[in-house]
Amino acid sequence: MIAGGQLENTSAPILSDIQNCQLPAISWVIPDERWSDHPNSSWAKGLGPDWVASIVNAIGNSYQNSNKKCDYWGYGTGSTNPEPTAIFITWDDWGGFYDHVPPPKVYLGDQNDTCPKTQDNPNGWGCGYVYGFRVPLLVVSNWTPASYVSGPISGTPSYPPAKEWTHDFGSILAFIEHNFTYGLGLYLPPIAPAPYIYADQNSLDSVGGNVPLWDFFQGPQRNFTAINPIDPTHTASFFMNYYQTQQPDGSYPQPIGPEAGDPLD
């Protein structure tokens, strides 16, 4: 946003989009570092969890909050024009705590830095790369079973075949592309360049013919339950007005972290 020839900081445009019924088909949301979950003593005041809660609550309560103009939860509201939304919440690092599951092995190059092409690795992808320890992934939607944990599946044969699911970022991209591309008669162009099918064919659970992340959307559809913030003052308006709120010393907060200075931060 340009104001008076200067780049003007904007606060939480995702919340403005929801409030104004202008939510894009896909939104990528990165918080100010103050709103992250980094355990810094000067920032660890509930801003991270409350930031996430404000977005989830804005989606879930969009029908009531917009005076019935839009409905991004899409179930149990009485709306005749629902636009149900899936929210994927993840972190960019694993926090430094022990993970009892070792990262999966990947293919290594030879002394000439050439990737071997095998039946399991036909594109020779992955030379020199390794997977790190897992980070949490939360899925919030009106189809997601309460308290569901994706993991080992046992019992009678099923489709997809029983296995221990491992979801990675490629799985999210693959899920988006599979469900929202023109090829399926829907809205978005493919994410992956031709001739690839998925944004990341090497996503760890995109094998066996399954739709990645399928198990998070087993239904039945659910009414929305709001999340109580740690600090009740950390509402959507708190984040939307954050950079425009004068501090006791007379200054105004400035964006910090990887997205500092980005008007869409």
pLDDT above 90 covers what percent of the chain?
A: 26
Question: How many Cα neighbours within 13 Å face the side chain of 71?
Answer: 17
Helix (H) or strand (E) holding 140: strand 137-140
pLDDT, position 15: 94
Q: What is the pLDDT of residue 154?
A: 46
d(CA 199, CA 219): 26
| pLDDT in the model for residue 53 | 96
Grade residue 42 by pLDDT with cuts at 50, 70 and 90. Answer: low
pLDDT of residue 259: 61
Q: How far apart are the first and last CA of the chain?
A: 11
Least confident window among 9-13, 76-80, 110-114, 206-210: 110-114
Dist. CA 166–CA 155, nearest whole Å: 19
Segment holding 6, helix H or strand E: strand 6-7
How many angstroms separate the CA atoms of 92 and 137, rounded? 10
Map tokens 């939510």 to a residue.
23
Residue 192 structure tokens: 């992956």
Q: Check residues 258 and 5 and name the one with the higher pLDDT.
A: 258
Q: Which of 29-38, 118-127, 129-138, 206-215: highest mean pLDDT?
A: 29-38
Residue 69 has pLDDT above 90, yes or no: yes
Phi, psi of 87 (to 5 degrees): -115, 125
Q: What is the pLDDT of residue 41?
A: 55
CA distance linking residue 262 with residue 265, whole number of Å: 5
Residue-wise pLDDT tens digits, 154-196: 444 344 444 556 677 777 877 777 777 665 555 566 666 666 6
- The yes-or-no verdict on residue 144 having pLDDT over 50 is yes
pLDDT per residue over 27-40, tens digit each? 888 888 888 887 66
Average pLDDT over residues 101-110: 62
Percent of the chain at pLDDT > 70 equals 62
Query: Average pLDDT for residues 144-151, to the nearest whole number?
Result: 81
Report pLDDT digits (tens) over 205-221: 665 556 678 778 888 88
Strand partners of residue 89: 138
Measured CA to CA, the distance from residue 10 to residue 263 in angstroms comes to 6
Closest CA to 199 of 216, 212, 185: 212
